[in-house]
Chains A and B, each alone.
Chain A
């Protein structure tokens, strides 16, 4: 079935370091792909998305490119801040007969130290 695999971490970086969180997926067809972020004590917030191959999603300095050939959607940021500390989830969307559901990776906890 459809699934998402992402590096589980935890990942600890110093402020201004480069971030990569790997995400690969298995799916029938070409699903839309997402990165969500969860701050402590909160629900999920959509960080960025891509709906077709070669699309690049970007937001708040984060970027991810939909790579069909490698079935990947890696999250990157050139210079992380302490405020980026959170748990990041890669997800794909399955649409069927009007219904939609998200399939998530296990999440990667990021801690950024000053």
Chain B
């Protein structure tokens, strides 16, 4: 079974631009979560989607948004990029039932200049 895939792996943007990151979950997984990893703040939960609905959201500004498609693929969007948005963005998928393990993708490294 293929693992969680994320595209692109690396991205360089400038302040004020917007960016869209993509995540394809493991086949059959209906839940996708996003996390931001930075040296200062560590790993922080952004949001979780299940069956195209956002089920939970972390403490991030409205510039961070996401969506999930009917095939469970998910995208996250960051608008009006700031230098502090530079981070590794990790996507994780799970089957969706309670207490299923989350499987992480390799991440997208976003650099904002």
Contact = CB atoms under 8 A, between A and B. Distances in A.
B43 A98 contact: no
B42 A105 contact: yes
A96 B45 CA distance: 14
Interface residues of A, number: 25
Interface stretch (A19-27, A40-48, A66-74, A75-83): A40-48
Which secondary structure dominates where chain A touches chain B?
Answer: strand
B104 to A, nearest CB: 4
A51 B45 CA distance: 21
B46 to A, nearest CB: 9
B95 to A, nearest CB: 11
B18 interface: no
Contact of B48 (A32, A42, A100, A105): A100
A99 B56 contact: yes
Interface string A89-114: 10100011111111111110000000
Given A41-B106, A43-B90, A43-B104, A98 B50 contact: yes
A7 to B, nearest CB: 13
Interface of A: 32, 36, 41-46, 49, 51, 89, 91, 95-107
A104 B42 contact: yes
B48 A43 contact: no
Nearest 3 Cβ contacts at the A-B interface: A43-B104, A99-B56, A99-B55
Interface of B: 4, 31, 33, 35, 42-45, 48, 50, 55-56, 58, 90, 92, 94, 98-99, 101-107
Nearest to A98: B55
A18 to B, nearest CB: 26
B106 A43 contact: yes
Contacts of A99: 48, 50, 55-56
A51 B101 CA distance: 12
B11 to A, nearest CB: 15
Contact of B104 (A44, A95, A96, A100): A44
B101 A46 contact: yes
A100 B94 contact: yes
